[in-house]
Amino acid sequence: MTAKITEAAEEVQAAFREELNPARRGVLLGWSSFTATFAAVRGITYSIKNGRGPFRNVSIGGTHIHHYLWGISLLAGVGATAVRGNLRRPHATIPLAYGAGLALIVDEFALLLGLEDVYWAEEGRVSIDLGISTISAVGTGLAAGPVIRRLLRRFRG
């Protein structure tokens, strides 16, 4: 069983390198990071809301720190790195940080748009979660298309 897992992992790595040019790799990493971060932040915020698990709200001096601020910080760092230029080769941390930062901001978009904390309003919360989750999965799937096709050819026969 371990040999099959190792073989599959090696094939995924080879497909990632050989089927995607550096720009497409960045797109896939960004979508994957967005999807994973959005899913994680949804799980964490639901656990905080329901008082389950080890997570708690972050506050400084009694002021709640919304997670879109961490997202803005990540995007600012990505922007500063990208503007600096002179990167000899694309670096995986750039699209990963970009996707994570964007997900943190998008998750609190209603708060940013209305400038009031309607984050847990019943109307629409489930549909927003479902909509963004669907967009995340489709975007990641489309970006991974060449890799997925290669893996299907390889492991189907």
The amino acid sitting at 54 is P
100: which 2 tokens?
């994570």
* 8 A C-beta contact, residue 137 and residue 33: no
56: which 2 tokens?
């708690």
Q: CA-to-CA distance for 104 and 119, rounded, in angstroms?
A: 13
Q: CA-to-CA distance for 56 and 59, rounded, in angstroms?
A: 9
pLDDT tens by residue, 42-68: 899 889 989 999 999 999 999 888 898
Q: CA-to-CA distance for 45 and 50, rounded, in angstroms?
A: 9
Which pTM was predicted? 0.77
- Which pLDDT belongs to residue 55? 93
* 8 A C-beta contact, residue 15 and residue 150: yes
Q: CA-to-CA distance for 110 and 115, rounded, in angstroms?
A: 8
Parts of the chain with a pLDDT under 50: none
- Which pLDDT belongs to residue 114? 66
- Which pLDDT belongs to residue 135? 87
Q: CA-to-CA distance for 102 and 132, rounded, in angstroms?
A: 12
